[in-house]
Structure formats: structure tokens, C-alpha cells
Amino acid sequence: NIKAEPQAELPEAQSAIVAVKRRHQEDMRSIQEDMTLHQQKGDEENQSYQGALVPFPEKWSLCNFFISSSDTGKMVNMENPMMEYIELENLGSGAFGEVSRALDISTEREVAIKKINLQERIRKEAIAYELMVMKMNRNPNIVTYLESYLVGKHLWLVMEYMDGGTLRDIIIETQMSEGEIAVVSRECLQGLDFLHSNHVIHRDVKSCNILLRTDGSVKLADFGLSAQLTPEQSRQSSVAGTSGWMAPEVVTGQPYGPKMDIWSFGIVGIEMAEREVPYWNETPVLPQLLIDIRGTPKLCQTNLFSFLLRDFLSCCLQTDEAQRWSAEELLQHPFVTLAEPVSSLVPLIISEKLRKEEKTLG
């Protein structure tokens, strides 16, 4: 039997963490130099925002931010953005704005463009952090950041286009096999292990933030709620995430670390197996409150699933954070180690893509 074992908390001082902090300081120095920092106590209190890399003053220049955050160091203030991109399709709207599929005219490749309205200060801070996390944490299991543009009062965040849609699209239409669940689990855990080893917590892991490509690639996306741990702050305490996927320690306001993402992914595992988020339909009671009433979320029809899958989910969904497995440990679980290559997902992803295209044409 595989039993969960306690894992020590991140040490307060570690050379790897210091290196991450130094890299952050270098990337953010130009931003801080161009900002007009408010020194009054009241201003400092107004500037606080959980999860932000640096405090943003009440008044700051969009131009200065953009110049500081661009790869080239030059602001691209586009009067006519269609000179660079041809929009092909609106992919939907999110908390910070709409996302479009577009063609990069210079490279002739498809990209995804997230258009963020920068009118509100909190949105500036959240997207600034998302931009930094994506730029500084490049990995095969994380959606790749390409470029950013300031278009009037909007920030265009250009990313690689994941032509297979979201994992949620698959879950809604298809009953995934355990083999397919294992492959997706391995790829997501590889992304989470990379983030956690760099002391980043995603804080919003859910099926619609996991993107797919028709070559079988599986990548984590949407880092607007991410948090960076530092030697001074190795734990977080702010409530962040989406109801239904939040870990118990987050809901109760307890300090938490990277393992909150593991609980969230455990909920995704149940989604993949049973096509529903546990307790989601039990309104008006919030899903996380039902944990106290009905216990840890579990598969409803356990007899339909293997011991390995049940045990894997149990390791993810330990209410005691200390007993919950880390991403690194879960990658050694037999359910994951026996998973096939990502190419095994291709038929599933292409089938869903064709179904969506037929629906659109019909």
C-alpha cells in the first residue's frame, strides 16, 4: 500500500530561493526606477495587494510599466494593431478581458491574444504579475509567453495558441479513460513541480486553466492569481482561487504553501473521471463548506475505477496539508509512472476539435 508521508516545509533560507529573489529584483528594477513611489503611510496601505511581486503606486505610468516589462525594452504603442496581427476568432471572455485567436503576419503562425483592460488599478497589478510569472518561468508544460503590446488602455498579452482547447471542453463531451487521465496528470504535475521548485504557487488550478494542443501537449495557463514565495514569505494566507477547487487550508484562512495546488488538481482528477466537480450542484451551500459536512471529496462510483487511480486521488486530497503528497512525489506514483506518451492523447483531442468545428459550421 502507498501511504502519504509528511513533507517538510520549505526552509526559510535556501540558495535557490535567494537566486529566484535576485532574478526578480533584476527584472523589476527598471519598473521601480520609473515609478513615483508614495512614502506616506496611508499611501503604502492603499498600495498593498496580495500576490503582487512589487507594490504599485496609486498613480503610475502605463508607458513606464510597458517599457520595463517588454523583452526589447521598447514600448510598442500600436495605433493600428492589425498591422501585426489578423484576428481570426474570438475564443471567449475571462475575468480580465477577452481572448482571441490571431495570425502573426510576420511569422505566419497562430497565436492567442489576451486583451486586458487596464482602466482599473487592481487589474494592472494582477496582469503585471501574470506577465512576470510567464516570462520568468518557461517550461514545456506552461503556456509560452511571446510578446506584449500596449494598445491604448489595453495590454495585449500574446501567447502560443493551444489549438486543442481546454481540458474542460474534453471533460464536458467525453468520458476519459484512466490511461488518458494518467497522461494529463503527469503533464500537469510536471508543470506544477517546475513552478513549485521555483517557489511559485499557481492558486487557480482547474480544468479550464489546463490547455491542450493537437500534438498531445498539456499546459498550465492563467497565472493572474499566482503567488511568489520568498525567504521572508514562505507561506501565503490570502483566500485566492475558484470555489470548488480551493484547498481546505485556503478556505479556512490558514497559511498555505504549494500543496494547495495539489488539492486543486485532485479535484481536477475527479472531474476527469466523473465529469463533475464534487459537490458543485449542491447549492446554495458552497462546495468547500460541504467538506466539513460530507468529508473529503471522493469518486462516487469507486467500483468503476482502479485501485491505482483511487489511491492517486487520495494522495492529492489529504485534508491535512502535511500528509498531502507534493508534485514531485506524485510524479513517482505508479498511476503516473505507468502513463503512456502524450501522443496517446492525440485521438481524443482531435476528436473534440472536429466536434467543435462541426458544431460551429452547423
CA pair distance 181, 52, nearest whole angstrom: 33
The one-letter amino acid code at 339 reads: A
**Alpha carbon separation from 234 to 137, 198, 258, 298 (Å, rounded):** 18, 12, 10, 30
- 85 Cβ contact list (under 8 Å, min separation 6): 102, 103, 104, 105, 111, 113, 158
- 306 Cβ contact list (under 8 Å, min separation 6): 178, 335
The residues facing 102 across adjacent strands are 87, 111
CA pair distance 223, 96, nearest whole angstrom: 12
Residue linked to cell 529573489:
21
Q: Which of 169, 204, 222, 261 is catalytic?
A: 204
Beta carbons of 51 and 203 less than 8 angstroms apart: yes
Whether 34 is catalytic is no
- So which residues are the catalytic ones? 204
